[in-house]
């Protein structure tokens, strides 16, 4: 049921696109920079690390930090999940009550760089960051340039429906299959992060479905 709804797709605000192109043909073509929205205090027992990663998902980096610091995975926090097939910059928090000092640069590698280190009094909680800044390169672009410019001007004026993207639903929407098993068949999921991910996929599908209906009705723009 959930997968079928996902496969139906969602309504577009400005009709069928007149241009075609390819995104994410390489990681550098999709860049995300997390905007924390506040300055860490420089004090406290939570070590905040600003990390740039390429081709790595957020949870794998969190596990790597936990192993390096010798702390449980639950003591590593982050505000939001970032794309894997991309170059992303985001904050991580490591709870270190004794304010242990680590040479965090030792974990640097080709796909991971620690850019900044500081301290903060509070744990870095989910959804606390202010926004994300994107830089997207479209390769193999084709279409009428005049029409494309006109559409971009409309988007600039009105914005776009902020649907959750395909990555939220897993490869081929398989997260929704697991979500349906969890919600309707009462199947158990032992790993907490997987259970959270499946439930998040279901909530995201609900959000997309409501937004799609508003797009269809022409009421999606808040005036």
Q: State the Cα–Cα distance between residues 109 and 52, nearest whole angstrom.
A: 11
String of DSSP letters for 158-172: H----PPPGGGG-GG
Locate 165 and state its tokens: 């993207």
* Residue 18 a catalytic site member: no
Q: State the Cα–Cα distance between residues 185 and 115, nearest whole angstrom.
A: 45
Asked whether the beta carbons of 116 and 49 are under 8 A apart, the reply is yes
Q: State the Cα–Cα distance between residues 31 and 73, nearest whole angstrom.
A: 26
Question: Which position among 11, 75, 83, 100 bears the catalytic label?
Answer: 83
Q: State the Cα–Cα distance between residues 209 and 118, nearest whole angstrom.
A: 41
**Residues found in the chain:** 223
CA count, 13 A, side-chain hemisphere, 215: 19
What amino acid positions are annotated as catalytic residues?
Answer: 83
């Amino acid at each position: 049921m959930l997968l079928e709804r996902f496969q139906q797709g969602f309504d577009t605000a400005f009709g069928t696109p007149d241009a075609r192109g390819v995104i994410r043909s390489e990681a550098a073509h999709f860049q995300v920079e997390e905007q924390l929205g506040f300055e860490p205090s420089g004090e406290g027992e939570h070590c905040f690390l600003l990390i740039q990663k390429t081709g790595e998902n957020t949870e794998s980096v969190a596990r790597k930090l936990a192993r390096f610091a010798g702390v449980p995975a639950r003591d590593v926090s982050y505000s939001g999940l970032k794309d894997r097939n991309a170059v992303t910059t985001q904050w991580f928090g490591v709870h270190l009550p004794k304010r242990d000092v680590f040479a965090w640069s030792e974990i640097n590698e080709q796909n991971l760089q620690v850019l900044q280190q500081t301290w903060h009094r509070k744990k870095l909680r989910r959804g606390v960051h202010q926004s994300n800044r994107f830089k997207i390169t479209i390769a193999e672009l084709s279409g009428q340039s005049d029409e494309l410019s006109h559409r971009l001007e409309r988007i600039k004026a009105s914005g776009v429906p902020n649907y959750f993207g395909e990555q939220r639903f897993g490869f081929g929407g398989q997260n929704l299959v697991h979500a349906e098993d969890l919600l309707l068949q009462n199947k158990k999921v032992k790993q907490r992060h997987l259970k959270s991910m499946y439930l998040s996929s279901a909530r995201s599908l609900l959000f997309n479905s409501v937004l799609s209906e508003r797009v269809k009705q022409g009421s999606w723009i808040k005036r």
